[in-house]
Amino acid sequence: MRSAKDFFRPLAVGAPAPVREVPFRPSRMIHFFDPGNEKMAAKVPSIAPQVDVLLGNLEDAVQADRKEAARNGLVQIAKATEFGDTQLWTRINSLDSPWALDDLLTLVTEIGDKLDVIMVPKVEGAEDIHYVDRLLAQLEAKAGITRPILVHAILETATGVANVEEIAGASPRMQGISLGPADLAASRRMKTTRVGGGHPGYLVREDPNPSDSDAPRATFQQDLWHYTIARMVDACAAHGILPYYGPFGDIRDTLACEDQFRNAFLLGCVGAWSLHPVQIAIAKKVFSPAPADVAWARKVIDAMGDGTGAVMIDGKMQDDATYKQCLVVSELADTLAARDPELAEAYAAAEKE
Ligand SMILES: CC(C)(COP(=O)(O)OP(=O)(O)OC[C@H]1O[C@@H](n2cnc3c(N)ncnc32)[C@H](O)[C@@H]1OP(=O)(O)O)[C@@H](O)C(=O)NCCC(=O)NCCSC(=O)C[C@](C)(O)C(=O)O
Ligand SMILES: [Mg+2]
């Protein structure tokens, strides 16, 4: 392991200095598209201004014989498009595939100055991040890139979950982690056949009625992903990086998608993936704090002065810890409002009410 003193040294001569803090840029939705799919690629200019992050996907969901078309498509799109404030990310193929090395070589040398974050799938431990870290430094130096490309890991194997803390802290390049529920379910030998979301069989049942053993007993569906998301959020928070819910595969079930996203938002995630244009608005709604919650947070902050002591507001006790929670909501609202004028207006209006 590198000593703490060396942690922020570039890993190649001429590579840019690593960031000391992960920049907190809005990333409520990471919108996936296949850069080799002409229909999707044609929508990039109109989708880019609507999303916080646009991600050119090269891994799963791109057929094996379309891998090069996807990689070359991303190079062309990145060169031809002005992304403004929207971040450009990519998901490379997994490190055990025959494509990952060429993905990195091509993308960093051709469009490294446009790429904000590289998402690495199926990360199992710190060694995977160390491999990518050194390679990126060499390629950045070769290509004359002046700001470091950050790395995002997908948590989608049982080993990855077991090692999530060391993954989160493996490099100053680590920007965040997303849950990958489909591969994770397979890796764990779960008996689901879905991409994220709940399952009607995973439930708890009300106790029997002692005076009527035949009375119907209510059941309550449980969240299959609670444990993993909570572990991921703690690992990310402990290392100053950002947690994300991943994909929700039932595109038509927009209601359950919203619920799954909101659970992740409440637990600490900053965004989720949109796989289809219909999921963009859902992520935007869920991962932007509600105007009434922002107004409440600001009321508490104003009432708490220097943030110490205890006061009563509308029958609820507020103290140093509620003040800190309110700062989380208020600061997130400020960051999002700076990018989103409609949201800025909604927050200002709610404060006046
Ligand atoms: C689900 C699919 C097949 C339905 O695609 P469709 O064409 O059947 O849907 P549609 O409703 O008919 O589409 C309407 C229009 O929107 C377009 N469109 C549709 N989607 C997009 C998009 N994302 N971006 C931009 N445009 C899109 C589509 O091309 C069409 O264009 P048209 O009106 O000109 O005919 C399609 O949406 C799609 O391929 N989405 C991306 C899938 C993907 O990236 N999957 C991988 C991420 S999930 C994952 O990897 C798991 C994980 C983490 O690894 C793990 O848990 O282990
Ligand atoms: Mg996967």
Q: Does ligand 1 have an atom closer than 6 angstroms to the CB of 183? A: yes
Between CA 163 and CA 126 the distance in angstroms is: 8
Give the Å distance between the CA of 181 and the centre of ligand 2: 7
Between CA 210 and CA 199 the distance in angstroms is: 29
Query: How are beta strands 272-274 and 29-33 bridged, if at all?
Result: parallel
Q: Does ligand 1 have an atom closer than 6 angstroms to the CB of 195? A: yes
Residues 6+ apart with CB under 8 A from 202: 221, 222, 224
Query: How are beta strands 29-33 and 53-57 bridged, if at all?
Result: parallel
Q: In the numeric block, which tokens belong to residue 99?
A: 């494509």
Asked if ipTM goes beyond 0.95, one says: yes
The pTM of the whole model exceeds 0.80: yes
The pLDDT assigned to 323 comes to 97
Q: Name the stretches of the chain with pLDDT < 50.
A: none
Asked whether the beta carbons of 161 and 231 are under 8 A apart, the reply is yes
Give the Å distance between the CA of 33 and the centre of ligand 1: 7
Atom of ligand 1 nearest to the CA of 34: 44
Between CA 59 and CA 158 the distance in angstroms is: 19
Between CA 94 and CA 96 the distance in angstroms is: 5
Longest pairwise C-alpha distance within the chain: 78
Q: Is 33 helix (H, G, I), strand (E, B) or coil?
A: strand
Between CA 197 and CA 6 the distance in angstroms is: 41
The pLDDT assigned to 353 comes to 84
User: Can you count the helices (H) and strands (E) in the chain?
Assistant: 13, 12
Atom of ligand 1 nearest to the CA of 39: 29
Atom of ligand 1 nearest to the CA of 44: 25
Between CA 177 and CA 154 the distance in angstroms is: 6
The pLDDT assigned to 1 comes to 73
Ligand 1, pocket-test mutation among 62, 275, 278, 279, most atoms within 8 A of CB: 275
Q: Is 42 helix (H, G, I), strand (E, B) or coil?
A: helix
